Amino acid sequence: MKIIVVAGARPNFVKVAPLIEALRATQASSPHLSFMLVHTGQHYDEQMSQAFFDDLRLPRPDVDLGVGSGSHAEQTGRVMIAFEVFLRQEEPDWVVVVGDVNSTMACTITAKKLGIKVAHVEAGLRSRDWTMPEEINRVVTDVLSDLLFTTDLIASDNLKAEGIDAGRVHFVGNVMIDTLLKHHKRALNLRQWEHFGLQTGAYGVLTLHRPSNVDQQPAFRGIVAALEVIQQHLPLIFPVHPRTRKMAEAFGLWERMAGWKHIHLLEPVGYLEMLSLTSQAALILTDSGGLQEEAVVLGVPCVTLRENTERPITVAVGANQVVGNEPEAIIEAVMTRLAYGRVPFRQPEKWDGSAARRIVDILLAMR
């Protein structure tokens, strides 16, 4: 049985790391099993260094297709062309894709057209926002996949409502939480907050990168206006996405933020450094998907700067508040969350560090 595991962007590696570990552990008792890790090269990232793989205790990919950046169509086409050549050479039994980036959809389509079975990890997530390319990628991938592994029962219900055969759907838990739980202690030992002269529970962590927030000048200016108020009450640590910095400079916002007394503007940080920072924060402000989920397990309140979320389980358990990008709404949500402080949140079922093991067991049962 040959399995190809695909990662297309940096967050995908956080999700595939526990899968690779579970596959390795299985090989000793399953000599028929072989697997390869493929990086499509969708995102070039300086942080994809050896240190990043060391953080995750993950081997370098067996293959890097090196497709690079481009428009959505260009990128999808390049991935499909390169991945088809690779699949014809390797002839795997299964292709495992994760998440919702362009590579996820492109590799799924390519494999299915060659008659190769596909398993989708993180299936069933829905924002209902068709302006998000990720939503298109999710839906297409789920329709085509032979096995759909969901992180929670809301996602399973989404697939049921879309008419997907229940026999293809398996509720296994969250592989991102597998990674978090495995490395949480190592991250805490870094004590990253001390590098900024901060105390535990006395700062916020901010991430911002979505086009709806940073590519539109009115929206970006409104968010910055809210942040200016917030940082006066709560110091902020802000690892800045390259595109976010580019747009901040273009709109004349970078120097404004750099002049604030209580914000720390950083280059992108590694996985362990980021986990160290978020684990001891008073609050997470983000438009990312993964940080919403991590906040639940860390017990850190999250305010999401979007109009919707594909991870409503984080709202259902009380960890996350989705507020959009209007300044008044952001400030009100942050101040309310700070008044309540950090509290333990109800943990979603099966977010226990064993999702990858469940996935591998199900895949092996399919041989």
- Catalytic site positions: 209
Give, in order, the Cα–Cα distances in Å from 206 to each of 133, 255, 269, 305: 23, 17, 12, 10
Rounded to 10 deg, the angle between the 290-298 and 175-190 helix axes is 60
**Tokens standing for residue 320:** 């996350």
Query: Which residue has tokens 């004349």?
Result: 252
Contact residues for 134 (Cβ-Cβ < 8 A; gap 6+): 100, 101, 127, 310
Q: Are strands 94-98 and 63-64 parallel, antiparallel or unpaired?
A: unpaired
- Three-state secondary structure string covering 275-291: HHHHHCCCEEEECCCHH
With contact defined as beta carbons under 8 Å apart, do 345 and 317 qualify?
yes
Measured in whole angstroms, the distance separating CA 354 from the mean position of its chain's CA atoms is 18
Q: Which of 140, 143, 134, 136 is nearest to 168 (CA)?
A: 143
Q: What share of the chain is helix, strand, coil (3-state, %, to 5)?
A: 50, 15, 35
Host H or E run for residue 55: helix 50-56
**Tokens standing for residue 39:** 């990086």
Q: Name the DSSP class of 68.
A: -
Sheet holding 302-304, edge to edge: 263-266, 236-239, 204-206, 283-286, 302-304, 320-322
Angle at CA of residue 117, ends 112 and 119, nearest 5°: 105
Q: Which of 365, 364, 356 is nearest to 121 (CA)?
A: 356
Q: Residue 149, by phi and psi: left (phi above 0), alpha (psi -120 to 50) or beta?
A: beta
Give, in order, the Cα–Cα distances in Å from 319 to each of 83, 189, 345: 39, 25, 6
